[in-house]
Amino acid sequence: MQEWCYRFSCSLGRVVTTPLVRLNVWHAPGAAEPSGAAIVVANHISHFDPAFLYSLIQRPVDWMTTEEFYANPLIGAWLRALNTFPVDRVRPDRRALRVGLERLAAGRLVGIFPEGGIRAGPTSILGGVAPKSGATMLARLADVPIVPCLIFGSDRLYAARSWLPGPPRVPIWMAMGATLHISAGEEEEANERLAEALRALARATIAHFDLQPDDLPTTPQRRKGREALA
């Protein structure tokens, strides 16, 4: 595992984003940094999410990443150096499942966006859509916990104005929820438990930071068409 690439990328990311964004991190009651193997799940509102979630989880996370990104040789090599691994979003992917189990058996963190892509509003888990079953299935098979996480604000970076240095910086809010344990007999209930854990974390995060409607996720297309900050 090429930890040097992870650490270099994190350091480079901090240098680039510090003048642009203001990170707000919160650990909800019952939240705890995982000490062993675990699955990190989060809502997905922008392409920038994994980079910022690295600041929430103080250990390297091996993100399951849509296979289309690996088609470009340079991007694919960089993603593999970050310990990500490809997944087919359309069909069941036994290869990705096997790699995920291997990483967890090695005591690592595996990251999954259970929405299967960037989602906001009524098309998202927070808006009522059921999550894909990959995260809960992997948790059952590997007998590891799930760490629910949340990110708000990263979608603002789709607005060109967000990349201009100087105040005001783009606020990004991240939260970690209480660990979720999935038992072998919960096949039908596990996904709903995961969805409700993320929705409850969203409600608590909104209340904790006193977020306003414009702070909540919207589509990249909408963010590109208006100012990044209210």
User: In the block, which residue shows the tokens 């906001």?
Assistant: 120
Position 18 in a domain: yes
Position 37 in a domain: yes
Which secondary structure element, helix H or strand E, spans residue 41, and what is its range? strand 38-42
- Of 41, 57, 26, the closest CA to residue 100 belongs to 41
Position 107 in a domain: yes
pLDDT tier, 229 (very low <50, low <70, confident <90, very high otherwise):
very low
CB atoms closer than 10 angstroms to residue 54: 20
User: 82 with 8: CB under 8 angstroms?
Assistant: no
Whole-prediction pTM value?
0.91
Question: Is 1 a residue whose pLDDT tops 70?
Answer: no
Position 203 in a domain: yes
What average pLDDT score do residues 1-6 get? 68
**Residue 32: which domain range?**
3-224
* Of the listed ranges 119-128, 156-165, 196-205, the one predicted with least confidence: 156-165
Give the Cα separation of 117 and 113 in Å (integer).
Answer: 7
Number of domains in the chain: 1
The CA angle 6-179-190, to the nearest 5 degrees, is 110
Position 229 in a domain: no
Residue 92 is predicted with a pLDDT of 80
pLDDT tier, 167 (very low <50, low <70, confident <90, very high otherwise):
confident
Q: Report pLDDT digits (tens) over 4-27.
A: 777 777 777 777 788 889 999 999
Residue 2 is predicted with a pLDDT of 64
Instruction: Identify which has the larger pLDDT, 130 or 226.
Output: 130
Position 59 in a domain: yes
> For residue 71, what is the DSSP state?
G
Distances (CA, A) of 67 to 22, 72, 75: 31, 10, 11
Question: Is 193 a residue whose pLDDT tops 90?
Answer: yes
Position 230 in a domain: no
- SS3 for 179? coil
What average pLDDT score do residues 59-84 get? 93
- Of 146, 14, 1, the closest CA to residue 85 belongs to 1
CATH number for the domain spanning 203: value is 3.40.1130
User: In the block, which residue shows the tokens 């607005």?
Assistant: 159
Q: What does the mean pLDDT of the chain come to?
A: 91
Instruction: Identify which has the larger pLDDT, 137 or 226.
Output: 137
Do the bridges between strand 85-87 and strand 170-176 make them parallel or antiparallel, or are there none, so unpaired? unpaired
C-alpha 15 chain-centroid distance: 21
